[in-house]
Amino acid sequence: MLACFKTKFLNPAWLLVVILAQVMLLPLVGGAMINSPSGADSQVPALMPFPASIELTQDKFRIDEKFSAGGQEQPGGRVFKAVARFMFRLSGRTGLFLEQDFLADQAPGPKRSLSYQYEKTGRLIPNEDESYILEISDNRIELRAPTDLGILRGLETLLQLLSADDRGYYFPCGRIEDRPRFTWRGLLIDSCRHFMPLEVIKRNLLAMAAVKLNVLHWHLSEDQGFRVESRTFPELHRLGSDGLYYTQDQIREIIQFASDLGIRVMPEFDIPGHSTSWFVGYPEYASAPGPYRLERGFGVFHPVFNPAHPGTYKFFDRFFREMSSLFPDPYLHIGGDEVEAVHWKENPRIQAFMKKHNLADNHALQAYFNKEILRILTKYKKKMVGWDEIYQPGLPKDIVIQSWRGTQALIDGARRGYQGLLSNGYYIDLCETAERHYLNDPIPPDSQLTEEEKKLILGGEATMWAELVSPETVDSRIWPRTAAIAERLWSPQEVREVNDMYRRLSVISVQLEENGVQHLRNQDLMLRRLAGNSPVNPAEMAALKTLVRISEPVKGYARHSQGRKYTSLAPLTRFVDSCFPESLEAREINRLAEAYVSGRTHQDWKKLKATFDELAAASLLVSSLSGRIPVLREVGPLADNLKELVSIGSRSLSHLASKTKPGPGWLKNQKNRLEEIKKPRAECQLAVIPAVEKLLAALEDKPN
């Protein structure tokens, strides 16, 4: 009997949490079942982003050593390289010794297992066609697309379809027709606050390609560092980078690497503010006299370019001529955000300039500056992108406004005819949940924009600002949550089922590791470093892992107000840095508590009780560790809070199981204790607090 499914039939089963021995908390990642139109059940593939249209049958294309791929492309082409990567990854996942020399021979032929075909080479510009059709029968796979970019996207989907049973590996048969909802699907990486070596950029580009992102927004100048070699103005990188910068050859290497993945590279040079590093070598273009030095702290600072100095624009003419030649992307980002006007106000020549040109305020002065920069960029055939603040009436309609302060700026811009990008709600450095990012839509379902205005919303970008990340931790702040953002920007708007997103995200997160990203593996390394040379037995290390997996860093910018002053030289190696931004284990525990409160089954009660018992044991062991290891001393109060939290949870469970209700004084006291437990410890929060809150809320109701 035919069993097929489409997006609209998604109805995932709940995931289960398995608490292992030795106080190890690990979630069971199982396949969710769906109800097919025929009434049969079928497993939902862990595809992310989810395709626009998908129909699968129960038939299977079996994979063995003879699996081969071929198409019209010659060696060295973008698709040829992509197919070679696909075959490497397929071999790596299956352990199969593939017979085809796919690095040298991808000639087409009827015996090829995978046949690819496209009509033209895609350009790395917005609105280029990235669609594809993937058809899988039991003896052949065909991948077709209008451009080679579509072939790249389809190969990622095919690899995600890889499945296994007792007979071996296979691809499920069926047909997928897919296309992106938005043309601009980006990730900003800040290489300025903390420098990101070349290998960090490369591995994240590979991960971006795996989830069909297509723009690397590279933040390359900031108060803390100027990160690109400039041969026209060499003091920029010599004096403004601490020696940590990318040579022009390395920039070209990254651009070619990204191009092979179907990814554009758009540079950002933040002006006129956030510009201290420029003035270390060229103070004559600043609004206040120097000397200047690189900023080690974080925030918004006074140094700003002088818009009244004619030399400023001559400087930028030469600089952007050089950078326009280096970066081939049609867009160049000028930043334009958070401009402090203190030095403008204090400079009498600037004030006289404003009066002479009838510039009423600092916004008008920045608009003057932006128009001059736009004139220069236009001269070098670049389109200007900037943050919200660049918008002023009179700017040409081909600029792009990137919204970071709120969606209203995006809406207002579209209504005035301006193209826009959404980043508000996609700030992944704030350690928010994947759910929050996932449900944040550049064009919400209730949007009042007209169809023509909606076309001006190009898409969005996740933003990885680097105040609190190092090359060791940056991957864990980007992945896997950015995959949820990638789906929001690619998949149909109606694909919004949160629980199924998390089910697929847990699978994709592991698969991303084959691209080299270190979001999962570095956590254990960091915990071993924290343990140092102290004698730590396996049970204690397991307990530390348990605590870190149910803890999260404080949200937003709260780490900056926890008593420590962070600078670009501060260590990012502590317990809080090893925590993931979102604890998927805690999410499952919280859902288990919700399920118990709703159903009151003995099975859920046992699971929850066992979980609390294991967490209590872990808290005692970590408390002991914190007394012996100085760097873990700050974690002791967090472990103590966990002990008290699960004690409240276990007591609540006992009342619920026995159908007894504690006195109002007890409930009030426990709620007060929870408010204390919610306060950050070691710049972390316990992510399982909602589970206990649900139990206490259930006790307030009449017992069943």
If we measure between CA atoms, which residue out of 13, 76, 4 comes closest to residue 503? 13
Instruction: State how far the Cα of 440 lies from the Cα of 434, in Å rounded to an integer.
Output: 10
Instruction: State how far the Cα of 518 lies from the Cα of 444, in Å rounded to an integer.
Output: 33
Tokens, residue 649: 């949870």
What's the burial of 644, exposed, middle or buried (CB within 10 Å: 0-12/13-18/19+)? Answer: middle
Helix, strand, coil: what percent of the chain each, to 5?
45, 15, 40
Instruction: State how far the Cα of 596 lies from the Cα of 283, in Å rounded to an integer.
Output: 65
Residues with Cβ within 8 Å of 625's Cβ and at least 6 positions away in sequence, in order, are 531, 534, 536, 540, 543, 544, 632, 635
Q: What are phi and psi of 528, to 5 degrees?
A: -65, -40
Respond yes or no: is residue 338 known to be catalytic: yes
Give Cα separations from 69 to 86, 90, 118, 228 (angstroms): 10, 12, 14, 40
In the chain, what is the straight-line distance between the N-terminal and C-terminal CA atoms, in Å?
44
Are 47 and 157 a contacting pair, CB within 8 Å? yes
Beta bridge partners of 175: 55, 135
Instruction: Please confirm whether the linkage preceding 480 is cis (ω < 30° from 0).
Output: yes
Instruction: State how far the Cα of 575 lies from the Cα of 552, in Å rounded to an integer.
Output: 10
Q: What are phi and psi of 162, to 5 degrees?
A: -55, 130
Catalytic residue, from 177, 338, 435, 594: name it: 338
Instruction: State how far the Cα of 177 lies from the Cα of 131, in Å rounded to an integer.
Output: 8
| Rounded CA Rg of the chain | 27
Instruction: State how far the Cα of 467 lies from the Cα of 117, in Å rounded to an integer.
Output: 44
Q: Which residues are catalytic?
A: 338
